Amino acid sequence: MPQTLSVIKADVGGFVGHSAMHPDVLGEAAESLERAVQSGLLLDAQAHACGDDVFLVMSHERGENDESVHQLAWDTFVAGTEVARRLHLYGAGQDLLVDAFSGNIRGAGPGSAELELEERPSEPVLVFMGDKTSAGAFNLPLYKMFADPFNTAGLVISESLHEGFSFEVHDVREHRKIVFAAPAEIYDLLAFIGSPARYAVKRIASRATGEIAAVSSTDKLSEIAGRYVGKDDPTAIVRCQGAFPAVGEALEPFTTAWTVEGFMRGSHYGPWMPTSLAEAHPSRFDGPPRLVALGYQLAEGKLVGPRDMFDDPSFDNVRREANDIADYLRKHGPFEPHRLPLDEMEYTTMPAVAAKLADRWAPL
């Protein structure tokens, strides 16, 4: 029977400021998930945190977009919000953008990535959790995993990967999607996903088997709320081995500290730093943006793990690189390219400032 791996996340309150998740909030989430496992709604589940976001990792047999699973996630976030308010945590409930749940988490504020699969004899998966960055941040790493032979040797030397992958890309502003075949259409693909503020890779499938290889969250808070209410803090699920990239190939893109939007107030570019769970608590200028990778073996729906994949000295160099890039960009202060370009500042105070000064502009 097909299984579904759902990762649904939200910021329900930061400790201290936007830097971390309070243990009581995470504990509330874990208790909620345990009750759902005991009731039979879920096969297995865990709650984890990256920065000030709680990520619910849930295995079940109910398919994608199941109302009961999404209701559970919403209720868990509401309960976490109550804990956050009791502790006077910062931004309590900030990702809960609607007053009541209406059947699906999408469009309500929280982000989600869901992947339906037929479990193989050995089913290794990676769950990526990001903080202080935006939907679309996974575009470049996913491209390298599934389309770049300099990153993924299996695209050249493994028969099961050689036919390539299909990329489903979402236009998050016009709410439409398109599918590109790699390698045949990689130039067309890059023309769009090279602009991650608007175009985001949602789903990747094997062209050999049709199986879904990876999914990411493409929910943009500013597009939903019409104003800045926090960054999207995306998540992604990647299946590994066999017809998919090896675990080491899926982690290899993160040996470079890619520049992503987010950082302080979601209005700056900064380096994406892969860290262990223990170091996923950004504090310097609310950053640098963080990324955690949790590795699991699925065993009849049970989550065997996690392994903390970036808790590895081989990623020390990229962490140093991220700090060096952060030093350089911070010196720009309010100037681009550290601050986002004007068209990406439309959800900040920039429109209000422009409106206030509109009648002071004079023709040249």
- Compute the distance between CA of residue 324 and CA of residue 316 in angstroms, rounded to an integer: 13
- Of the candidates 65, 48, 51, 76, the one whose C-alpha atom is nearest the C-alpha of residue 6 is 65
Would residue 171 show up in a list of annotated catalytic residues for this protein?
no
Would residue 327 show up in a list of annotated catalytic residues for this protein?
no
- Of the candidates 243, 227, 185, the one whose C-alpha atom is nearest the C-alpha of residue 97 is 227
- Compute the distance between CA of residue 221 and CA of residue 23 in angstroms, rounded to an integer: 25
Direct distance between the N- and C-terminal alpha carbons of the chain, in angstroms, rounded to an integer: 70
R_g over Cα of the chain: 20
- Cβ–Cβ under 8 Å, residues 256 and 318: yes
User: In the block, which residue shows the tokens 């990520």?
Assistant: 55
Q: Which residues pair with 123 in a beta bridge?
A: 298
Query: Among 177, 228, 308, 311, which one carries the catalytic annotation?
Result: 228
Would residue 231 show up in a list of annotated catalytic residues for this protein?
yes
Query: Among 11, 131, 219, 232, which one carries the catalytic annotation?
Result: 11
Cis status, amide bond into 16, omega within 30 of 0: yes
Ramachandran bin of 65, using left for φ above 0, alpha for ψ from -120 to 50, beta for the remaining angles: left
Token representation of residue 37? 């496992």
Query: Among 231, 232, 233, 286, which one carries the catalytic annotation?
Result: 231
3 state DSSP class of 324: helix
Tell me which residues are annotated as active site: 11, 228, 231
